[in-house]
Amino acid sequence: MQLFLDTADLEEIHTGVEQWGVVSGVTTNPTLIAKAGQDHETQVKRICEIVGNVSAECVSEKKDDLIPEGRRIASWHENVIVKVPMTWDGLAAAKVLAGEGVRINVTLCFTVNQALLAATVGAYIVSPFVGRLDDINQDGIRLIRDIVAAYREQGVTTKVLSASLRNPIHVQDSALAGADIATMPFKVMESLVTHPLTDQGVARFLADYERAGAGRASAAGADARAKPDLRSDYRTTQEPKAVEAPQGQAAAKA
């Protein structure tokens, strides 16, 4: 499953792509673009310079407006994926644009039937919104699982992008449900690496290393290897214990 950031914030995107090295795309929407405080075209072009696979959303409603708007957005950069809404107009525009080779993301998907329609018009991506379904007491992850199953059954190649993710459990459940891509806010991605036992483990390894003077020995280039600290918690708790032969076996050998 590919990991995308759901943001138009350049600093967050730089961190995810260059510092963490785990982000392979970005989804934006009119709300996120408005938050970034730049005009749509400038911001999308900047994001495209950082990462491939950048979804940029149309704001027209009618097919005849969506088609030229989609062409215009697609012309901004080769990394752009044009987002259209899950409406009859959006689907009709998607069909025309996809026929011209534009990569389309049909957004605001809430049912399997809508996902089938997106596939029928040749969408590159469909975006089911998990969190917004959970918000109204429906099962967002179940929708991902059902769309993935229907697509597999029908041999559909449209990618399932799990969107509107609100927490790390949404991310792991999207992967288990078979999503091709998960897009999430920066905060959610940041939380994916966190576990208290990982933090404790790192701290303990470093403390043992320091206590044994291992860093000092190699830094000085001395050939005297650091003597292991036998009082170290790590050694006393992690070293394998000698296995004693079961009584019967020992007796048989004797």
- The catalytic residue positions are 83
Stretch that binds ligand E4P, among 95-103, 123-131, 167-175, 210-218 (CB under 6 A): 123-131
Confirm if 180 and 1 have CB atoms less than 8 A apart: yes
The two counts, helices (H) then strands (E), for the chain are 14, 8
Using CB atoms within 10 Å of the CB of residue 27, give its burial: 0 to 12 exposed, 13 to 18 middle, 19+ buried: buried
- Out of 43, 53, 79, 127, which residue is the one contacting ligand E4P (CB under 6 A)? 127
Q: CA 170, CA 142: separation in Å to the nearest integer?
A: 11
Cβ of 111: how many Cβ atoms within 10 Å?
14
Tell me 223's DSSP state.
Answer: S
Residue placing its CB nearer to ligand E4P in the complex, 17 or 81 = 81
Q: Does 163 bind ligand E4P (CB under 6 A)?
A: yes
129 near ligand E4P, judged by CB under 6 A: yes
Q: What are phi and psi of 147, to 5 degrees?
A: -65, -45
Candidates 3, 5, 6, 134; binder of ligand E4P (CB under 6 A) is 6
162 interacts with ligand E4P by CB under 6 A: no
Please give the residues from 165 up to 204 whose contact with ligand E4P meets the rule CB under 6 A: 183
Does position 7 interact with ligand E4P (CB under 6 A)? The reply is no
- Our CB check for ligand E4P shows the closer of 124 and 212 to be 124
- Closest separation in Å from C-beta 86 to ligand E4P: 12
Q: Is 132 in the site for ligand E4P (CB under 6 A)?
A: yes
E runs forming strands in 29-74: 54-57
Q: Which of 107, 114, 158, 174 binds ligand E4P (CB under 6 A)?
A: 107
Q: Where are the alpha helices (DSSP H) in 75-181?
A: 88-99, 112-120, 130-135, 140-154, 168-176
Enumerate binding residues for ligand E4P (CB under 6 A). 6, 27, 29, 107, 127, 129, 131-132, 163-164, 183
